[in-house]
Amino acid sequence: MIYSNKLIDYAFENAADIVEPVTLAEAKSYMRIDDDVTADDNLILNLITAAREDTEKYTGCSIIERTVKAILEIHSRHELPYGPVKDKPTVPGAVVTGFDFPWLEGYGVFTVSYPVGYGDKLPAELKMAILAKIASMYENRGDEDRKHDSEIYYELASKYRRVTCW
């Protein structure tokens, strides 16, 4: 019988205190929109959140600080989803190895909670990728074709993309 590791479920906890990595002023400055032009401010704020969430999904990294609660079925070792991990968790019956993006080693089903996120230590390239994504989404809003992400977005964000099986 072949056993495989799998991520059964995960959830982000304490996401109510979200501080986005890009401010409205930064986004408007990047897109060369004057501060006194406020008609699209709510749209831009929504695009900031959408771009951050999309970048987190694309890279597998948590940009904002929060707690991840994951349930994993492990038959050797499995990478914890969504780093960088702030404090390495202790998991009874398993061993946690590594630092920013640690692995859980053991056999069985484990529930683990751990704090993640770059917070104020977000790499400049990821911040620039988010800004490029916001600009692309703003410039191409309403288009049916979602193939408008700029090459610069992928060039910057792909450096942080985690290749993983979860």
Q: 114: how many CB neighbours lie within 10 A of its CB?
A: 21
Per-residue pLDDT at 99: 86
Per-residue pLDDT at 18: 85
Candidates 136, 123, 122; CA nearest to 30 is 136
Task: Say if CB 95 and CB 105 are below 8 A apart.
Answer: yes
| Choice among 29-43, 71-85, 116-130 with the minimum mean pLDDT | 71-85
Q: What is the DSSP letter of 61?
A: B
pLDDT over threshold 90, residue 75: no
Q: For the residues 82-98, what does the mean pLDDT come to? A: 90
The predicted model scores a pTM of 0.85
Domain boundaries, the chain: 14-59+123-160
Where in the chain does DSSP place strands (E)?
6-13, 66-79, 95-97, 103-116
Q: How far is CA 139 from the centre of its chain?
A: 23
